[in-house]
Every structure is written in structure tokens, then in C-alpha cells.
Chains A and B, each alone.
Chain A
């Protein structure tokens, strides 16, 4: 096997000068500068970044590694010292030859204070603990403590730090300041101003990352209130990221509102399928029901964000009308339920009986690389005409790609789709019309909406449709195979920039549905006699050996965040 061809899209930045600092007595070398989260320009490394590199946790609310620094919550206060300088501007040494450290009389916020050579940071001193307790006490003065009805409970920074630094009772006896609750901030966001701790993460995100300066803080002092611009809804396509960013339960998602407590959700690493960007996500599911998608950090793809349209595109997985039975149909005259074994045998027999060149395959660019690869093996044996359906809409500058298929590149690389997706569909339609194509395999598409109408489908000897939800094509098919959503199987996608990313199974398939790859494995084995691989690992590694662009990849080597391959131009 050749060496991995995978490379990151950008070469590693040139090595920067490092400084030596001590975090709680542990000396580490820290880069002098770090890239600014917005511009990427080098800016001085801060104490909190040094602490992160030293694997020391500094509690914080307003600081976020992907946002500009605001420095308003004061939770990250730490004590520090710098080497003492004598009148001769030379370091003063201790008797044992080590530099004497002059401890700063005042603490500093770790998120906004740059490090200097020889600096010592102390995060565990009694003083630091007292400061954290003090800051937390201030934040809780007006906090409503409605954790039992708050959707953030369980993933709330205020709860977490209260366990570490909170008091059992409040010393504050005056009435709490009450602010508006259940504010309708936008189509997808509910705001509870009482819970807000005014960290301004949401304001910074929407202004600097999403580019929609919609939020701000109004009023003064205890009456500080987060608010949208009057008369304007907070409705850009990235609003739900502010729900993730909010360290408390002030901003909550309307979609997830009062649906399930977060501690019940089983988290599965997956990939969003709504466009070619392939944002890394975490699927939150309980008892075979998907409740939410959340972005998962991957700096090569989506940073820490995802768009609202992708995030909310999960409800179809639990749709009531999912296909759950394998059916042999006589279009127009009903059908019957059969087993996967029968279906595989009968379809394989029909394919083997078909003359080469009379078979066509319409696959979907929403299918995984592995499924498309197995289909391409079938197409090679049967000399079939293949294509998949393009989905080009308008993209944006941040994450949403114009190509709404998650795996157009996979379809091209496996040879299922031509360079221009959809250019063979017309040929397939003509072939059926002329009678040269007698067998059509359709995977995950409704071809009646893409130029192969019901009249043409009626001319076919065999129409096999593998689908998740019923449509016009499955109605006319001779064999209907229930398929799986990506959340119900494992596999890989190749995103628009050529990053091969794997996703894991979050929930069980519905009814008799089964991963398309498993059925295709049996069909390919029956048609061309190649036993192939039953496991996804074996299948992926086989595909990586066969397809030049994937050479050198292994299932295990993909890791959680994927590997970028060089796309053939």
C-alpha cells in the first residue's frame, strides 16, 4: 500500500518562536503568537491559551477559542508573576540561581493577558479560588435558578462551576431583578433574559462570524438586557449556534424546547448530510429517536459551527411513513412482502439474465462512498449506464455549499456519476424510451422528478427502488427495498473539498430496513462472484485499494475528523 496521499488543505504555518512559561509549576514552551480566531493573523498568546496547552482548566464564561476576546465575565481571573528585574535591567536571581519571580499584586484575566517570557501562572492558589467564588456569587445574584424547567440544565456552565465554586445558600436577601422571560427572539430562538449572564458570546458570534449584527445589550447595571435590534428578527441561518455558545440557558432552541433532558441523549459522532460541506455533528438520540444535531469541532471543515437548515434537517429520520418492508410489487396490482434473501436472489437472477448494456443505475449522491462503490462494481459487470441527481442551489460564504448533495465527489470518484452530475439521466431516459434499457436500479432518488417519468418506468422489465421514504418511483417499482438514513448506518462521505469523513450509527433502522451496503454486498457477490467484505471496515479498505483517489486510506486512519484527499482535476 502506498503512503497516504492525504494532505491538509493548507500547509502548516511556519514555526513560531516559543516562550517558556510555568503553569502551576509545570514549565511548558508556548508559541509566542497564536492565530487570531477571526483574521488568522498572529496575535500574542494569552494566559488562558497557555493554560490550555498545559492542560490546566481555567473556568470561563465569556471566553471562547473561536470568538474575539471580550473579557467581561471575570471568571478566568488568575494570579501570576514575572521574573523580577534589578535596577541594571537584569533578572534578579535567587540564591540557587533560578530567576526571582515578582508576583503581581493584582490578579489578571487569563483570556486577555498576553504571556511574557518566564511568566508563572497560578490557578490553584487560595486567592484564585476566592476570586472564582466571588465572581460566581455575583453572577448568581440575579439568576432565577429555574434549573428544573431550563433546557440547558445538564450542560450549563453555571451549574458546573457552582458545583466547584458555589455556596450552598445565597447571602443575598433582596428581591432578584426580574427581566423578560420567554422572549421570541427569532424564528428558532427563545430568550430568557433572567438567565443571561451577559457574556456577549452570542453578540460576538452573530456580528463577527455570521456577519449579522442583530443582537446587543440595552439598559444599564443590573437591568442590562440582551435584545435583538428593535423590530428586527434574529433570523439568519446561523442563529442556533448562539444556543450552543450560550453558557447558560438564556438562549434556547425552539425546536429542542422541552423535548428531552440532555443527560438522556446518547451522543454519536456523525456528519451533516444537507450539503457538500459535510459539517461534523453530534447526533443526540434516545431510545431510537433523534432529538437534535449539534456541531462538532473540526477546523478543517466547519470550525465549531453549523447552519440552522442543516441542523434542523433530521425529522424525516423518524417520519411515520418510512418504508419498512421489502416488497415485490406488480405495479397497479398490489404486491407482497418478501425477505431480503428472496429479494437478493430474484434481483440477482434478473440482473444475470439481462443482456449487458440493458441495465441502468440511478444512484444518489446522498449515498455513502461504500454503497456507490458497490454499485459501480455492479455497473462494471453489467456494463450499465449510471448517474446520480445533481442538487445545485444557492450557497453562502460561511458554511452552506451550493451543492446540496453530501457526496457528489464520492459519486464522481467511484465512477457512478459523470463529471457533470445528471448528464447521463437524459441518455437513460432515451434508452428506456427506445427500449434498449430494460432494467433500472434506483437508489435513494425519485427519478420521476428528474426526467424519467412514470410512462417511461412502465416500459421497464425490472425496476428496483431502494428508498427511505415512499415516492412515485417506489410506487411503480417491481422491488422496493427499505433503506437507512445515515444516522442508522456507518459509512463515509467525500465532501466538496475532498475530505473523506466517516459517520457512526446513532439509532436502529426502522422495521426490516437495513443498510444499503449490506444488501449491495450480497447482490454484488451473487452477480459477479466476488465475495467482497461484509464489514464496513473491510469494504472501505477494499474501496481504498481499488479507487486511485482513495489509495492509502484506511477506515481506522480516517479518525473522527476525516482525511482530505487530492481530487482529480
Chain B
């Protein structure tokens, strides 16, 4: 393709007007930053960016308002996780002792934050609303092992989730009203 170039006019060939125009833009930004304090950039890490709602940060585990670990170790997140960042150790025959009618809970729950791609599939697939992608986006550690978050760490970072449905509590109350509970523990 042949690009047709227009011949420069005399005014354009002087160059100086264009230079002056450019300096005007530079000066405008310079004075806005320096004298009026309107910076475009941020003083990271002293200043932290506040993420918008719906941002997909690091996935953490949550407890409900009664301090029960909501995860029941169904391992659907482990199954759905595209980079295989999640690893759950099921509890074995003992289940989750002392958790009433929720017979099962994870013995160990690990997320490798180096592998995690923050896709949010784990949150989407979770039938118990036990894992959420929170607002943390800058995860650091001094070695790889440190970046594998275990159950304890995930729960402490996740905090409390105000569960509106409380499925298991509702089930237990319903059963209690029918005089079936307490459940005989499996030997």
C-alpha cells in the first residue's frame, strides 16, 4: 500500500508551535501533580488499592456465625480447580467429631497460592458456601512452602460468614422436633 504523504505547510515546517504545544501539556500535568496534589499513580505499597466489589482475590475458607468450619470436605473444589491448587485430606471413618449432624469435615485443606489462578470456580461450585474469593491480591512469601496455605491459615484469613440459610442447623432443629436426635455416634 502506498501511503500518500501531504506536503507540510510553512507553519508546520517551523516546528516551534508543535514544541510549544507539547510543553504546554507536560506543564499542565506537572503543575497538577505538584501544586494541586492530583497524582494519577499511587504510592504503593504505602498506599493500597481498594478493589471494586466482585474482585476475585485469594480464596479463603470461612466459619459460620456459630464458629463451625463450613467446609464438609466434599472435594468438589479440588475436582473443579483448573490448576489443581487445592488439596483436601478427607477425615476418614471418624468424620468430624463433635459437629453434630454435619458428619464430615476436612482433616486438612491446602491451597497452593502459587498455583491458584483466581478463577473463582471453587466458590461457584461449593455447595456449602464455605470458600470465598476475598479481596487479598498481593500474596507474598519467602519460599514456596510458605505459599501453600493450610486449613488453619485459610480459616483465620477467611473469618466469619453470616450464613442466612444455616442448612445444617435447620435440619438438626427439624429432627429434634421429631425426637430423632441426638444421633447415636458410629462405633
Contacts and interface: CB of A to CB of B under 8 A. Distances in A.
Interface of A: 144, 147-149, 153, 175-184, 190, 254-255, 257-261, 263-264
B102 A260 contact: no
Interface stretch (B70-78, B135-143, B154-162): B70-78
B91 to A, nearest CB: 5
Interface in B150-187: 171, 174-175, 177-178, 180-181, 183-187
Contacts of B74: 147-149, 153, 261
B152 to A, nearest CB: 20
Contacts of B78: 264
Interface string B67-87: 000001111101100000000
23 contacts: A147-B74, A147-B127, A148-B74, A148-B127, A149-B102, A175-B178, A178-B174, A180-B180, A180-B183, A182-B103, A182-B183, A182-B186, A184-B187, A254-B93, A257-B93, A258-B73, A258-B90, A258-B94, A258-B95, A258-B103, A261-B79, A263-B79, A264-B78
A377 to B, nearest CB: 46
B92 interface: yes
Interface of B: 72-76, 78-79, 90-95, 101-104, 127-128, 171, 174-175, 177-178, 180-181, 183-187
B70 to A, nearest CB: 10
A179 B180 contact: yes
A180 B178 CA distance: 11
Given A144-B171, A182-B103, A259 B186 contact: no
A177 B178 CA distance: 8
Contacts of B93: 254-255, 257-259
Contacts of A254: 93, 186
A180 B184 contact: yes
Contacts of B76: 148
A445 B75 CA distance: 41
A259 B174 CA distance: 29
Chain B contact residues: over half helix, strand or loop, or mixed? loop
A-B interface, 5 closest residue pairs, ranked by CB to CB distance from nearest: A178-B175, A148-B74, A149-B104, A257-B93, A178-B180
Contacts of B187: 184
B184 A261 contact: no
A148 B184 contact: no
B167 to A, nearest CB: 9
Nearest to A191: B186
A255 B103 CA distance: 16
B186 A178 contact: no
A253 B103 CA distance: 15
Contact of A259 (B90, B101, B103, B175): B90
A149 B180 contact: no
A179 B183 CA distance: 10
Given A258-B92, A264-B75, A181 B101 contact: yes
A260 B178 contact: no
A181 B127 CA distance: 21
A263 B80 CA distance: 11
Contacts of B102: 149
Contacts of A177: 178
A190 B186 contact: yes
Nearest to A192: B103
A41 B184 CA distance: 45
A264 B184 contact: no
Given A178-B174, A179-B180, A184-B184, A149 B72 contact: yes
Nearest to A182: B186
A494 B175 CA distance: 54
Nearest to B93: A257
Which of A176, A178, A259 has most B Cβ within 10 Å?
A178
A528 to B, nearest CB: 49
B66 to A, nearest CB: 17
Contacts of A258: 73, 90-95, 103-104
A142 to B, nearest CB: 11
Given A175-B178, A178-B174, A182-B103, A148 B90 contact: no
Contacts of A257: 92-93, 95, 186
Nearest to B101: A181
A176 B174 contact: yes
B183 to A, nearest CB: 5
Contacts of B128: 148
Nearest to A263: B79
